[in-house]
Structure 1
């Protein structure tokens, strides 16, 4: 055992203490340029360290997008390792946005890379794709359980192309997305105060009352800010499950540039808006 409380327990505690905000670390080329940084490893490191310095001691979750580090090869992955470690040391939970999905020993290797406590890239949770069949995620589920980590499984994503798979109807009459949500509810059954196996559900999708989002697990919700959704939209989208929503904001915070104070202020504004929107009157 890892000695860590389960991810769901730690996430609930962090959300209650710091507010339910996830800030993305997305150092893509255009954003590095906006910050006046070169599109190289030095720029990548400066960007990532600045974000961690600004918000890791005050937001519940940081979510680095692995692809933007991997594109620089081993030196970029080394920056990612350091960013993950420094963010966790500052008290933020880290969700690695890598969207891994495979079968058998390959899925097990992905799980060991991101969810095993001895890995240099150990993160509190990992985004994964279930579209080789939910059962293909079993190695990641098992590794997460053994190490106090969690998963966020793609269910109802905000990209328009996602619907052709996620809204497809199975022979039993249930959609693919509804099936994924049902599997997650089963993983989280009996867990308190919150299960460790969450879904990715876009905040831009409007009324989702036809889906059962009460999976006793967290709902990672991209779409706040640059994609058009606001904190005020969350109750209408997520209904009774809104208290378990972890809204992700990336560009809405990161566009404030390399100024630590400006980044911190932007994150705190979003955190307060979200807290006010999801807290019962």
Structure 2
């Protein structure tokens, strides 16, 4: 397979990248290239110009702030997986990163690239949604921030405007314990279903919960009703069973060549039950 013809530019600043993207409406930003380049080789995508963000040092920087952590869009999955700050503050991300493709892909693939690509079967969109991430965007009109709930609009569809780039993500510290579960046909494949569960337990009672699914619909799905059910309850086996079933109920699941909608929903229920059981027993 051969790439379609394209021009190439490698800016060294965010301003230069935005200018290049706005000079050519057929241009596309290039992050790690682990999704875009295969799509080009298959002729699914054919941008006229690639604007390589790899030369912009600022996009590879992360910082721990008083109440949050800001992660640059060009930080690789491998670097995030090795980060002690992420391991300490965001155990959900640390768990999920072990499921991202294979090591060779994690070495080149980027945090921001995965989020902007918005594949429903990818882990990072679920992670930033579960953690209430703020997506940091910059374009010709200036900088803006969007909550993850407003950013993901469907499979391969986001709120990024033409000429904008994702510069990073700010993740607030949650104070919750987290568990991540995923099922794929083979290790490294895109997930058939994913479940992320976070709880804050005091005196044996769940005071706060966050439950989310990935890869069963066209974007990360929050189970708010099940979260409310868990509040002020002890995480007993019966409560966990009820919460997991409630979490998956009413979701319009997708069917594709990998799994039917019914299978995805049954698998999602089992994964959420397993994640909550891990949290209840401390098997992290």
TM range (shorter): under 0.3
Structure 1 length-normalised TM:
0.23
The structure carrying a bigger strand percent of its residues is 2
The structure carrying a bigger helix percent of its residues is 1
Structure 2 length-normalised TM:
0.23
Could you say which structure has the greater relative contact order, defined with CA pairs below 8 angstroms and 6 or more residues apart? Answer: 1
Which one has the largest radius of gyration? 2
